[in-house]
């Protein structure tokens, strides 16, 4: 039986899990801001591998927010990860791919997974695919954790400046960020600003539940952004396309989930909770063959013996 290592690599954390032994290991995530991204990802995997005391595996499947943009970088990453894990094959894909495989058990449809960013993949039965949003914190990921957190912090800064409405988020930010003095400067210079700001999304969501007007407006806008993303995927495939919702911020009892579901219901769109996680999706993909509906979305690195 093939031994597989699954890797779910995000900006907030990188998790790895093996098919041959129990337990999941998580280490700090990697963003595009951290210099040699491929080396940083490989080092993070190596750190988690060492911590978890994993045995060598046959295949590694990586689903990454920082997925390489070119084949050369992907091959370099594959070789680096293989050197740590002993794998003869390393599959590298965007984390929307492994999220989709987990959420829909490797079947066609639309997956919308919300964490620090936004991952939405629409996939047809013939393998034709479309990614909706997922454009990163600078250009998109509308409705995701960083998007919500950054708007919350911005609202706080506006109130402090005398430009914005009063909000309980100011008190929450003072607690979360050890005071408000030079907050913007401190957040710009923190080691992992995207992760740090995205953590404030939880405070925004809590404040919305408590009735804060500013937080409510942010969450309502986030739900609308996620709704338009999901709807675009369904419209591209067809009205009968299954839609799976998942991720840290779309738990069944969260305010964001509730408001998104209201918008979907108003349009007569059905959904289901994600079947499993992106990490489970990576293991599921790794247990099969490369000729699957995701084949055009995965870079396969192989250890080719020298002639």
Angle ∠(215,217,219) on CA atoms, nearest 5: 70
Query: How far is Cα 81 from Cα 102, in angstroms, rounded to an integer?
Result: 22
Task: Clarify whether residues 79 and 125 are in a common domain.
Answer: no
- Asked whether residue 195 is domain-assigned, the answer is yes
- Asked whether residue 81 is domain-assigned, the answer is yes
- Is residue 141's pLDDT more than 80? yes
Contact 82, 61 (CB under 8 A): no
Q: Are residues 291 and 242 in the same domain?
A: no
Residue 100 pLDDT more than 90? Answer: yes
Same domain, 176 and 62: no
Residues 62-75 have pLDDT tens digits of: 999 878 888 898 99
Distance of CA 111 to the CA centre of its chain: 12
Handedness of CA 154, 159, 160, 166 (dihedral sign): negative
Chain centroid, CA 191 distance in Å: 20
**How far is the CA of 137 from the CAs of 32, 53, 149, 150, in angstroms?**
10, 34, 11, 10
Question: How many other β-carbons are positioned within 10 Å of the β-carbon of residue 130?
Answer: 14
- Burial (CB < 10 A; 0-12, 13-18, 19+), residue 180, is middle
Domain region containing 156: 109-274
- Give the pLDDT band (50/70/90) at residue 305: low
Band the pLDDT of 307: cuts 50, 70, 90: very low
Same domain, 32 and 119: no
CATH of the domain at 135: 3.30.420.40
The confidence band for 155, taking pLDDT boundaries of 50, 70 and 90, is very high
**89 and 10 within one domain:** yes
Does 125 share its domain with 218?
Answer: yes
What is the CB-side half-sphere exposure of residue 197 using CA atoms within 13 A? 26
Confidence of residue 303 (pLDDT cuts 50, 70, 90): confident
Q: In this model, does residue 198 exceed pLDDT 60?
A: yes
Chain-wide mean pLDDT for the chain?
Answer: 91
Closest Cα to residue 28, out of 14, 16, 17, 42?
A: 14
Does residue 307 lie in a domain region?
Answer: no
Condensed to tens digits (0 to 9), the pLDDT of residues 259-273 reads 999 999 999 999 999
Structure tokens at 44: 């993070």
Model confidence at 140: pLDDT above 80: yes
Q: Could you report how far apart the first and last alpha carbons of the chain are, in Å?
A: 28
Domain count, the chain: 2
Largest interatomic CA distance in the chain: 70
Does residue 208 fall inside a structural domain?
A: yes
In a domain, 29, yes or no: yes
Chain centroid offset of residue 271 CA: 19
Sorting pLDDT into bands at 50, 70 and 90, what band is 33? low
Residues with Cβ within 8 Å of 298's Cβ and at least 6 positions away in sequence, in order, are 91, 92, 93, 97, 285, 290
- The pTM score is 0.89
Task: Output DSSP code: residue 304.
Answer: P
The whole-number pLDDT of residue 67 equals: 81
- 217-237: average pLDDT: 97
């Amino acid at each position: 039986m093939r031994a597989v290592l699954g890797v779910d690599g995000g900006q907030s954390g990188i998790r790895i899990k093996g098919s041959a032994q129990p337990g999941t290991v998580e280490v700090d995530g990697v963003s595009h801001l951290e210099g040699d991204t491929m080396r940083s990802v490989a080092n993070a995997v190596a750190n988690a591998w060492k911590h978890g005391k994993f045995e060598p595996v046959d295949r590694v499947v990586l689903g990454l927010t920082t997925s390489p943009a070119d084949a050369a970088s992907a091959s370099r990453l594959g070789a680096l990860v293989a050197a740590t894990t002993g794998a003869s094959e390393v599959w590298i894909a965007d984390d929307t791919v492994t999220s989709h495989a987990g959420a829909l058990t490797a079947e066609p449809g639309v997956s919308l997974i919300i964490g620090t960013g936004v991952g939405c993949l629409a996939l047809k039965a013939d393998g034709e695919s479309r990614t909706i949003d997922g454009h990163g914190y600078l250009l998109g990921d509308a409705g995701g954790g960083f998007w919500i957190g950054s708007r919350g912090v911005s609202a706080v800064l506006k109130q402090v400046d005398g430009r914005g409405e009063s909000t309980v988020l100011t008190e929450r930010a003072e607690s979360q960020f050890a005071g408000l003095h030079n907050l913007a400067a401190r957040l710009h210079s923190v080691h992992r600003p995207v992760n740090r700001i995205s953590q404030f999304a939880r405070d925004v969501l809590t404040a919305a539940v408590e009735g804060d007007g500013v937080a409510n407006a942010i969450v309502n806008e986030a739900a609308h952004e996620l709704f338009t993303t999901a709807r675009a995927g369904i419209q591209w495939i067809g009205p009968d396309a299954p839609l799976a919702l998942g991720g840290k911020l779309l738990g069944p009892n969260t305010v964001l989930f509730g408001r998104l579901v209201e918008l979907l219901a108003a349009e007569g769109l059905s959904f289901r909770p994600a079947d499993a996680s992106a990490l489970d999706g990576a293991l599921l993909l790794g247990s099969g063959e490369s000729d699957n509906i995701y084949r055009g979305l995965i870079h396969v690195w192989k250890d080719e013996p020298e002639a």
